Amino acid sequence: MVATDPLWLPSLSYDETELRKMDSALVMADGTALGSRPGIRPGDPGLAVSLAGTTVNVTAGAAVLYRSGQGVYRAQLAATSPGTLTAANATFARIDLVYLRVWDTAIDSSGLRKADTVLLTGTPSGSPAIPTPGATEIYIPLATINVPNTGGGGTGAATVSSAIRQVTVAPGGVLPVLSTAAPSTAGPGTILYYTDTGAYWYFQADGTTKALLVDSPGGTTLGKTIEALKTGATQTVTSSTTLVNATQLVLPLAANATYALSGLVIYDGAFGSGDIKVDWSLPASATMLWTANGMGTAANGLYTANTVPAGTTIALGTYGAGPPYTSLSIEGTIVTAGTAGNAQFRFAQNSSNAVPTSVYAKSRLSARRIA
């Protein structure tokens, strides 16, 4: 067993590496033993890069840097300038990199122990790439500078991008990050906020990520209820048994999901004739068992309740023009396959009649995802 020195005990002395490694406990882990995620605090405007002509400026700020086996380097800087842009190439554009560096002679043999910003000029190319600092350098990138060729304006048209800038948080903090730049590993329960999509995701115990909230983009809709309410004008079918879509009575469903369906449809039509028939159109390969409960056809006064699969119409009676109106209630289960899409309620006359069969406002549907 190799003993170490815990922090803040009397009569102990510490070297710099011990202190940096213990500082790792203050910063979000990177998925490796003693590893830390380097970066700037979320919301901290410090260490911002800008151009004044060809002069590169960096505002004051603080950051956390990390090197494997060496722990965490905490650095703060006053406002500084790492240099000026070199002249643009006549033919090709280039990308320059501005970064914060810590010089540690024990690691880089530089003979220096300091922190400062660096401007690293890129290589002009038809497909310019971000330059890479030396292998022994301890650094975090702050910004890139896109320098077009002289025909495109050269250094006078150079632009700064902070997309490469990385943030870090304390353990347990919510990490704001682009979805395209999210860490691939983190501890279970670590929460990511994707700044480009507005989604919250978290790491599970097996190392995979999952959307945190039902309404978060990309999140599961399990337990969520989708509702449709007919608020528009009365919709009629006259002298026709051809099914039509009931306006507004449509439910958008996710792929590979199971929904508990319910609803109330308010309608009327000629007494004892015409009647109404109803069914659904569903997303590709979706299946369904459902019932429409209500009065029987031909004004027989009988209550009807039949459970049928999708594609089978159910006929119910009409009992004269309202008010009062006739109504039917809906219950069922819909199972979608690999295609998302709409569950559309449809209706028509069961037998053609010159008296309209009508569906009224305040008819409603709902589908709650149960699997």
Copy the structure tokens of residue 230. Answer: 């007919």
**Of the candidates 166, 198, 233, which is a domain's last residue?**
166
Q: Which of 21-25, 137-141, 323-327 has the highest mean pLDDT?
A: 137-141
- pLDDT beyond 90 at 343: yes
| Contact predicate 86/61, CB 8 Å | no
Total residues belonging to the chain? 371
| Contact predicate 317/326, CB 8 Å | yes
Q: What percent of the chain has pLDDT over 70?
A: 96
Q: What is the pLDDT of residues 92-102, one digit of tens each?
A: 999 999 999 99
271 shares its domain with 330: yes
**Chain position carrying tokens 């989604």:** 199
- How far apart, in whole angstroms, are the C-alpha atoms of residue 179 and residue 186? 15
Per-residue pLDDT band at 319 (split at 50, 70, 90) = confident
Which DSSP category does 356 fall into? Answer: P
Q: Mean of the per-residue pLDDT values for the chain?
A: 91
Q: For residues 150-163, give the mean pLDDT.
A: 94
Output the pLDDT for position 216.
56
User: In angstroms, what CA-CA distances link 61 with 46, 216, 342?
Assistant: 4, 33, 52
| Contact predicate 49/142, CB 8 Å | yes
Q: Does 3 map to a domain?
A: no
Output the pLDDT for position 219.
60
The CATH number of the domain holding residue 277 is: 2.60.120
Planar angle of CA 279, 283, 286, nearest 5 degrees: 80
Q: Does 36 map to a domain?
A: yes
207 shares its domain with 258: no
- How far apart, in whole angstroms, are the C-alpha atoms of residue 281 and residue 287? 10
Q: What percent of the chain has pLDDT over 90?
A: 69
28 shares its domain with 110: yes
pTM of the complete model: 0.62
192 shares its domain with 252: no
- pLDDT beyond 70 at 269: yes
- How far apart, in whole angstroms, are the C-alpha atoms of residue 295 and residue 315? 9
- How far apart, in whole angstroms, are the C-alpha atoms of residue 314 and residue 294? 10
Q: What is the pLDDT of residues 139-151, one digit of tens each?
A: 999 999 999 999 9
Per-residue pLDDT band at 181 (split at 50, 70, 90) = confident
Output the pLDDT for position 220.
60
Q: Is the dihedral of CA 38, 41, 42, 46 positive or negative?
A: negative
135 shares its domain with 72: yes
Per-residue pLDDT band at 59 (split at 50, 70, 90) = very high
Q: Does 2 map to a domain?
A: no
- How far apart, in whole angstroms, are the C-alpha atoms of residue 99 and residue 7? 31
Q: What is the pLDDT of residues 219-249, one digit of tens each?
A: 666 778 899 999 989 999 999 999 999 999 9
- pLDDT beyond 80 at 185: yes
215 shares its domain with 230: no
118 shares its domain with 192: no
Planar angle of CA 340, 343, 348, nearest 5 degrees: 150
User: In angstroms, what CA-CA distances link 331 with 265, 305, 368?
Assistant: 12, 10, 12
Q: Does 9 map to a domain?
A: no
- How far apart, in whole angstroms, are the C-alpha atoms of residue 173 and residue 176? 9
**Of the candidates 166, 181, 199, which is a domain's last residue?**
166
Per-residue pLDDT band at 184 (split at 50, 70, 90) = confident
Q: For residues 333-342, give the mean pLDDT.
A: 94
**Which is more confident, 206 or 148?**
148
306 shares its domain with 347: yes
- Strand, helix or coil at 2? coil
324 upstream amide cis, omega within 30 of 0: yes
Q: Does 266 map to a domain?
A: yes
**Chain centre distance of CA 19:** 38
Q: For residues 69-90, give the mean pLDDT.
A: 96
DSSP β-ladder status, 113-120 and 159-161: unpaired
- How far apart, in whole angstroms, are the C-alpha atoms of residue 44 and residue 176? 12
Q: Does 295 map to a domain?
A: yes
Q: Count of domains in the chain?
A: 3
- Identity (one letter) of the amino acid at 136? T
Which DSSP category does 152 fall into? Answer: G
What are the φ/ψ torsions at residue 35 (nearest 5 degrees)?
A: -80, 150
104 shares its domain with 212: no
37 shares its domain with 158: yes
**Which is more confident, 210 or 59?**
59
What are the φ/ψ torsions at residue 22 (nearest 5 degrees)?
A: -70, -30
280 shares its domain with 348: yes
**Chain centre distance of CA 185:** 18
Output the pLDDT for position 296.
86
Q: For residues 144-164, give the mean pLDDT.
A: 95
- pLDDT beyond 90 at 299: no
Q: Does 216 map to a domain?
A: yes
- pLDDT beyond 60 at 215: no
Which helix (H) or strand (E) segment is 369 a member of?
strand 364-369
213 shares its domain with 232: no
Residues of the domain holding 203: 172-220
What is the rounded end-to-end Cα distance, in angstroms, of the chain?
A: 51
Which DSSP category does 339 fall into? Answer: -
Q: Does 5 map to a domain?
A: no
